[in-house]
Amino acid sequence: MESRTKRSTCAGRRLVIKSPAKINLYLNLLGRYPVPTPSGIQSYHEIESIVERISLCDRIVIAVRADRRITFVSDCSDLPARKNTCVQAARLMQKEYGISAGFDICLKKNIPVGAGLGGGSSNAASVILGICSLLGLQLSRDRLFLLGEQIGSDVNFFLAQTPFAVMRGRGEKISPFQGHRFLHTVVWPGVYCSTKKVYARVTRKLTKIFDNVKILRYAIKNGDVQLSQRTAFNALEQPALEAYPGLRRAKCCLHGIDRYVRISGSGSALYTMGAKRISSSFRLHNFAVYRVHTF
């Protein structure tokens, strides 16, 4: 009861948070495994991925309310007020820690939706971390990860607050590491990719058997751009290109500028690695172009 009262006295406190995107430098599919869920046994793809946090960020403002109501506003019409990861995260915190306060959440969206950049997962992690800061909750990384697993596969990467990490399992198992600061150009061609549709096109033939994780991790730690490019891999890239012809055309267009062009996650964002700049003239193709770095 005392903790509930203490948390309700935080009403009026406000916090502004940067919610960063990510790119997958490596993504391999190792197989499938069953996971018990409230609705029964579900089969999940087991992944192994190296992810990098980048400087393309959404902006989230969280204010504490005296009542338990949660409000959400955003400049993005694609995010419903009641069903989005920010609200899910706030409700989960109320439930798990008996929080009597509510929250007003305002999201300014800069990360494209459905681009494979982890925007929704990052938003959820940012709300969890923001609420912890506002209410003075000292949660261990393990307790944070238990929260993240309940929301989405990539959430734990952002909860780890690390520039690089190896992700395993469904993406919930995180091994953070430090590395060289890279420069990238991220291009969003205005295509929305359905993760479910992309995964539906995956076959065992498309998945590489060898493991480049150790080599790529070494390259990142030493800032070796060429070795990073040679060992980067995304098992979902070919299925995404087959599922979305517009994405294939965008990659072909960018390939004429930089031979190293990769898709992040299940798409549709593409990125290059290194100092070469992609001309802003690609905006004429309705491409959004972002110059970013390791964050």
The C-alpha angle with vertex 144 and arms to 140 and 147, in degrees rounded to 5, equals: 150
State yes or no: is 154 an active-site residue.
yes
Give the whole-angstrom CA distance, residue 81 versus residue 65.
Answer: 17
Q: Note if 224 is an active site residue.
A: no
| Residues written for the chain | 295
Helix ranges, the chain (H): 2-8, 85-97, 119-135, 141-149, 155-159, 195-199, 213-222, 225-231, 237-243, 245-255
Select which of 22, 58, 109, 251 is catalytic. 22
CA-CA-CA-CA torsion sign (218, 221, 222, 223): positive
Tell me the C-alpha distance between 192 and 174, whole Å: 27
Catalytic residue among 58, 109, 154, 251: 154
Tokens 């923001």 belong to which residue? 130
The catalytic residue positions are 22, 154
